[in-house]
């Protein structure tokens, strides 16, 4: 009997609460709740409209800034690299349209673009079998082409030195003389499936621009770290063999998981090799030119709007420089 009364009281309480809720919802609280919801929806619509307006304004400002940079670029960089030669080294995932823009900017700056070489994914594959293959190849090909890397150097260092032998020289005088060793190094790397040549085989250049793509987010952390270490070392070895090397890439490449991010976090390499992020912007194209000039003077820097950039542009040389 006690249990029955307990359940009866509970049921009555539930129905009473429902009845009170219905009465209040249909009566005094209905208008208040409805008005509150209406006000919230109106405020959200207003906030959305304001954000959209801000985004449109910022997009217009960025577009105008890029148009301005594009208009002044020829006057700003014209003939700055006169008499110099440049080779573009494309990493896996690099945007070919970005390379086209860099090529156009280099030519505007008076440089000769000797060609474009693409490094395949096999160049940095951390698979033990692939590493062993590169180890054997570098041990055999290095001495044949006069690589400067010692036999005790790491696989990445030896491979980077061979690439430098194939693509770059340290001074203008040597740039006009494509040596048999350079051609042999280029041919050996191509036959091994480690590089692909876009167009005619390039003659050695005095300057190199390494073009990176966005981070590969589908990789495991260990694979990504191994590949980034390879790209960083390769860029460093190119810099040792030429008058200057700049690594350029999209804004995302400046993230810690990107090529530029890895380069900037390596103090020894960052002190030698320059970098430019947000390369889709016209101002970044100009930054590459001045970063190469800075490299030719034995200095390095990191430019753009991403993590680790110290300025948007390198210090501009005087008109007499």
For 207-261, write each residue's pLDDT tens digit. Answer: 999 999 999 999 999 999 999 999 999 999 999 999 999 999 999 999 999 999 9
pLDDT score recorded for residue 55: 64
Distance CA 253, CA 256 (A): 8
∠ Cα 183 184 189 (to 5°): 100
Structure tokens at 133: 């293959």
Q: How confident is the model at residue 67 (pLDDT cuts 50, 70, 90)?
A: low
CATH 3.40.50 for domain 82-303, yes or no, is yes
- Answer whether residue 319 shows pLDDT above 60: no
User: What mean pLDDT is predicted for residues 126-143?
Assistant: 97
Please name which of 160, 166, 158, 142 lies closest in space to residue 87, comparing C-alpha atoms.
166
User: What mean pLDDT is predicted for residues 296-306?
Assistant: 97
Q: Cβ contacts of residue 295 below 8 Å, gap of 6+?
A: 207, 239, 243, 244, 245, 246, 274
Residues 175 and 208: beta-carbon distance below 8 Å? no
pLDDT score recorded for residue 3: 59
- Residue 205 is classified by DSSP as B
- Whether this prediction's pTM lies above 0.75 is answered by yes
Residues 253 and 280: beta-carbon distance below 8 Å? no
CA 23 to chain centre: 63
- Residue 178 is classified by DSSP as -
Lowest mean pLDDT among 20-24, 141-145, 195-199, 262-266: 20-24
Lowest mean pLDDT among 11-15, 81-85, 181-185, 254-258: 11-15
For 74-94, write each residue's pLDDT tens digit. Answer: 678 888 999 899 999 999 999
Domain range list for the chain: 1-77, 82-303
pLDDT score recorded for residue 308: 97
Distance CA 197, CA 188 (A): 12
Please name which of 118, 123, 119, 125 lies closest in space to residue 219, comparing C-alpha atoms.
125
Q: Cβ contacts of residue 237 below 8 Å, gap of 6+?
A: 149, 157, 159, 160, 161, 163, 164
For 248-287, write each residue's pLDDT tens digit. Answer: 999 999 999 999 999 999 999 999 999 999 999 999 999 9
Please name which of 243, 313, 318 lies closest in space to residue 84, comparing C-alpha atoms.
243
């Amino acid at each position: 009997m006690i249990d029955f009364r307990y359940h009866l009281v509970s049921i009555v309480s539930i129905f009473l609460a429902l009845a009170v809720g219905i009465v209040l919802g249909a009566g005094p609280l209905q208008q208040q709740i409805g008005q509150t919801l209406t006000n919230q929806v109106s405020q959200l619509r207003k906030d959305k409209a304001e954000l959209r307006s801000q985004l449109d304004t910022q997009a217009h400002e960025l577009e105008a800034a890029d148009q301005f940079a594009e208009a002044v670029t020829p006057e700003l960089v014209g003939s700055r690299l006169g008499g110099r030669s440049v080779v573009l080294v494309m990493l896996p995932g690099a945007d070919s349209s970005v390379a086209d823009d860099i090529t156009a900017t280099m030519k505007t700056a008076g440089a000769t673009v000797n060609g474009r070489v693409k490094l395949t994914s096999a160049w940095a594959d951390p698979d033990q079998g692939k590493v062993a293959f590169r180890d054997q190849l570098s041990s055999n090909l290095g001495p044949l082409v006069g690589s400067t890397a010692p036999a005790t150097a790491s696989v990445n260092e030896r491979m980077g030195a061979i690439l430098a032998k194939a693509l770059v020289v340290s001074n203008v005088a040597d740039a006009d003389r494509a040596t048999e060793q350079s051609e042999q190094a280029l041919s050996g790397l191509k036959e091994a499936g480690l590089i692909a040549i876009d167009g005619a085989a390039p003659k050695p250049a005095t300057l190199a621009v390494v073009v990176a793509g966005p981070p590969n987010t589908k990789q495991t952390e260990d694979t990504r770290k191994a590949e980034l270490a390879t790209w960083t070392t390769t860029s460093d070895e190119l810099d040792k063999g030429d008058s200057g090397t700049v690594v350029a890439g999209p804004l995302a490449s400046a993230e810690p998981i990107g090529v530029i991010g890895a380069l900037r976090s390596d103090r020894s390499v960052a002190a030698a090799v320059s970098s430019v992020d947000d390369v889709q912007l016209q101002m970044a194209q100009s930054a590459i030119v001045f970063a190469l000039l800075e490299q030719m003077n034995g200095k390095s820097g990191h430019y753009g709007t991403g993590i680790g950039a110290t300025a948007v542009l390198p210090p501009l040389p005087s008109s007499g420089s």
